[in-house]
């Protein structure tokens, strides 16, 4: 029996073609990841020349001290006292930060990268440094070597010399940190401390800082109050804490965070590297409204639905209209469905994703519709198939937009497709089924 009349051979052929078309679909998925990686490289390259992502950790005071331990010399079994240098780290009782962020876009090839200038005003107070809680003798503490430290990940972002007002003193900052217990990169200023724990120390300084994409802060104060404003209208507030109050409109955003020491998982004073502060950082991401790669990836996950349902429609047209569509014609239509995703990926890199989706879908529908009209010579069947594909594209577009409800909408859609398939195939006699001849 020829392929024209062997229905089982035809069904098997269609299934094999559909599965083979998944190979280029997976290749396009890999291409999406590759283009996304290229975008990340462009961002990293621009950031390396301007200033990277900044997370301000500080300020805090680091004071070196000596501690003594007993050590046994194995050879002689003799105990000796060993002096070890360590650091005390003290956080402020009150920390206020008022900042203004001025973002701007930089281009690298076809990619846009968000960088920013910022002006950050820090002020606060250290009240009565209580060393008694550490059980360290005052004579072992080197008060004359105390450092006022601000952790800054990328020092290339500093634009102006920074001067610290420490009570009534003006002190210039120096690059680097003496201890990596709390931060590994930053600036420091030598400050005068007194063994008298009844004194308080007020501080005030301004940092002009450049960076890329995000600006975060660590709540180092017993009470940390941070106020940020910018003309950027598409911020994303992330990290360990969300703003207590914020306002976002087309003119930009204003945000305020107020964090207590009870909200974080490290104390006001400790020694050595016993505490980690990274997990408490928070702030703002300056996002570009571009998510074409994520949406392209979500769209191509439905490639099997596109291919399978389109082939199913073709098959039912063959069965119900007693015509024959050659497997090569199935392949060409399947390739057109796959090319849709390359069009979508390429166009969405230059214009907004929604517009790219519409353009790619229309181009694919015109291509497939014209081809169907040529091979079936029927405007009715051409309109039917292009109409069904239009509904399918619209369905996928809605799923992509409603990410939180994608599973729900997708499940309902597949259920409806299955119900329609069962309805239109209910009267087909599958035991006495044969294909007709091509008109």
**H/E segment holding residue 34:** helix 7-50
Residues in the chain: 439
- Over its length of 439 residues, how does the chain's per-residue pLDDT go in tens digits? 445 556 777 778 888 888 888 888 888 888 888 887 877 777 777 767 777 889 999 899 999 988 877 776 666 666 777 778 889 999 999 999 999 999 988 777 777 788 899 999 999 999 877 777 787 888 888 888 899 999 999 998 898 899 999 998 899 999 999 888 899 899 999 998 877 666 789 999 999 999 888 899 999 999 999 999 999 888 889 999 999 999 998 889 999 999 999 999 899 988 888 788 888 999 999 876 656 787 888 788 878 877 888 888 888 777 777 777 788 888 888 888 899 889 988 888 888 888 888 999 999 999 988 888 888 888 888 888 888 888 888 888 887 777 667 678 778 877 887 787 787 777 666 666 555 554 4
Residue 60: φ, ψ to 5°: -155, 165
CA-CA distance, 159 to 214, in Å (whole number)? Answer: 17
Contacts of 429 (CB under 8 A, 6+ apart): none
Q: How far is CA 72 from CA 82, 85, 86, 113, in A?
A: 10, 19, 21, 58
Residue 241: φ, ψ to 5°: -135, 140
CA-CA distance, 64 to 83, in Å (whole number)? Answer: 13
Structure tokens at 103: 């973002």
CA-CA distance, 128 to 195, in Å (whole number)? Answer: 10
- For residues 68 and 83, the answer to whether their CB atoms sit within 8 Å is yes
**End-to-end CA separation in angstroms for the chain:** 20
CA-CA distance, 99 to 118, in Å (whole number)? Answer: 7
Whether the model clears a pTM of 0.85, i.e. scores above it, the answer is: no
Strand partners, 353: none
Rg (CA), the chain: 33
| Neighbour-count burial of 101, counting CB atoms closer than 10 A to its CB (0-12 exposed, 13-18 middle, 19+ buried) | buried
Structure tokens at 346: 């390429």
Residue identified by tokens 């462009």 is 42
């Amino acid at each position: 029996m020829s392929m024209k009349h062997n229905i089982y051979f035809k069904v098997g052929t269609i299934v094999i073609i559909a599965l083979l078309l998944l190979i280029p679909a997976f290749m396009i998925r890999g291409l999406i990841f590759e283009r996304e990686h290229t975008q990340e490289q462009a961002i990293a390259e621009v950031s390396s020349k301007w200033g990277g992502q900044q997370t301000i950790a500080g300020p805090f005071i680091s004071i070196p001290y000596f501690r003594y331990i007993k050590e046994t010399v194995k050879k002689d079994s003799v105990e000796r006292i060993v002096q070890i240098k360590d650091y005390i780290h003290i956080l402020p009782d009150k920390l206020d930060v008022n900042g203004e962020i001025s973002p701007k876009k930089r281009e690298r090839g076809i990619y846009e990268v968000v960088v920013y200038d910022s002006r950050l005003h820090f002020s606060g107070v250290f009240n009565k440094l209580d060393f008694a809680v550490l059980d360290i003798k005052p004579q072992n503490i080197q008060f004359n070597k105390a450092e006022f430290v601000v952790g800054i990940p990328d020092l290339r972002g500093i634009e102006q010399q920074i001067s610290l007002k420490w009570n009534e003193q003006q002190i210039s900052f120096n690059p680097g940190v003496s201890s990596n217990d709390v931060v590994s990169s930053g600036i420091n200023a030598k400050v005068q401390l007194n063994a008298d724990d009844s004194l308080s120390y007020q501080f005030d300084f301004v940092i002009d800082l450049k960076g890329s994409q995000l600006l975060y802060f660590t709540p180092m104060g017993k009470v940390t109050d941070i106020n940020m404003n910018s003309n950027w209208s598409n911020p994303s507030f992330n990290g360990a804490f969300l703003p207590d109050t914020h306002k976002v409109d087309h003119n930009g955003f204003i945000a305020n965070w107020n964090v207590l020491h009870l909200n974080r998982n490290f104390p006001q004073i400790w020694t050595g590297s016993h505490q980690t502060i990274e997990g408490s950082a928070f702030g703002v991401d300056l996002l570009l409204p571009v998510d074409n790669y994520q949406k392209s990836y979500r769209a191509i996950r439905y490639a099997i639905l596109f291919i399978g349902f389109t082939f199913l429609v073709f098959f039912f047209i063959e069965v119900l209209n007693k015509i024959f569509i050659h497997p090569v014609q199935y392949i060409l239509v399947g390739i057109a469905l796959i090319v849709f995703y390359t069009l979508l990926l390429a166009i969405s890199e230059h214009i907004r994703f929604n517009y790219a989706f519409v353009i790619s879908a229309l181009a694919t529908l015109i291509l497939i519709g014209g081809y169907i009209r040529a091979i079936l010579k029927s405007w009715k069947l051409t309109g039917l198939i292009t109409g069904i594909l239009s509904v399918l594209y619209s369905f996928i577009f809605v799923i992509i937009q409603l990410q939180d409800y994608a599973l729900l909408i997708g499940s309902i859609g597949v259920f409806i497709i299955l119900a329609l398939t069962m309805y239109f195939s209910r009267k087909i006699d599958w035991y006495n089924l044969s294909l007709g001849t091509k008109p």
